[in-house]
Structure 1
Amino acid sequence: MTNATSIGPKPPIVLSEEDYDRLTGLAEAVEDRAPAIAEELQNEIDRAKVVPLGAVPADVVRMGSIVEYRAESGPAKRVTLVFPGDADIADGKISILTPIGTALIGLAKGQSIAWTARDGRQHQLTVLNVEQPPAPPAAEE
């Protein structure tokens, strides 16, 4: 028996204009060396509702967000979604170019999405909490 699962439609997602522009450029930049990853990222970008940065709700995952999520019935994980050059799994910073990173972008607290791992297995993750990064400290005079 094959492991076929009815996944259903993907949930609606929201991207800021800034993230949309930067992620579109990133998808184009990696298209030649990582076509599957570029295609998956572009598919997510294409289905997003694009809004000005100030109109993105605080509980929506955007670049730099700190996200708590649970995959299937596993333990909750807390990560920061970053661009590839800032990724450091030991520090909890995951790249947008990972399957989980691409799945998380634009989701809101409480939303779930199916995603495919690099080994081809299907997984489901649910966003438990979203925090936006703290503003950089003001320079001391």
Structure 2
Amino acid sequence: MAKPKIVIGKSDHSRLTQLANGLLERKPEVADLLLNELERARVAEDKNVPAHVIRMGSRVTYKTAEGQERTVTLVFPGDADIEKGWISILTPIGTALLGLAVDQSIDFTTNDGRQHRLNVVAVDQVSEPAA
């Protein structure tokens, strides 16, 4: 299945590009995955990113192909806390969620090599993107 179109705000795009480039030496596979998503994204002015699109700091409810529903918040690596449902952008699911909108689906591969599909059910903007 072709990957869905995604939109990323300029400030997220800039910060995430820096983050990924900083990881190229130590974690090339993680960096490449994020850079590929950033490259295929349509970059918009922050104020023009629709509210139903996942950005850094968004609380996202998604459903798996198996029908499980989960709510997580997409965060930078230093803020990740699985107990609170705060998932790092550097995880396969975090990278997959970036830029998706409500009702979009994406296939992704977890660190253990398993294929998954998720569908975005709801997006809440809990924090303003960094300026």
Which TM-score applies when normalising by structure 1? 0.88
- 2:62 maps to what in 1? 69
Q: Given the alignment, which residue of 122, 131, 139 partners 2:124?
A: 131
- 1:12 maps to what in 2? 5
Q: Percent identity?
A: 54
- 1:102 maps to what in 2? 95
- 2:15 maps to what in 1? 22
- 2:32 maps to what in 1? 39
Give the number of aligned pairs. 128
Give the aligned CA root-mean-square deviation in angstroms.
Answer: 1.0
Query: Runs of at least 4 residues of structure 1 off by over 6 A?
Result: none
- 1:3 maps to what in 2? none
Q: Which runs of 5+ in 2 are unaligned?
A: none
1:100-126 per-residue CA deviation (whole Å, 9 max, x = no partner) reads 000000000000000000011111011
Aligned 8 A contact 2:57 2:127 in 1: no
Relative contact order higher in (CA < 8 Å, ≥ 6 apart): 2
Which TM-score applies when normalising by structure 2? 0.95
User: How much does 1:74 deviate?
Assistant: 3.6
Aligned partner of residue 57 in structure 2, secondary structure:
coil
Aligned 8 A contact 2:108 2:117 in 1: yes
How far apart, CA to CA, are the structure 1 residues paired with 2:35 and 2:107?
A: 16
Name the larger-Rg structure.
Answer: 1
The answer to whether residue 45 in structure 2 is matched with residue 57 in structure 1 is: no
Aligned partner of residue 50 in structure 1, secondary structure:
strand
Aligned 8 A contact 2:58 2:127 in 1: no
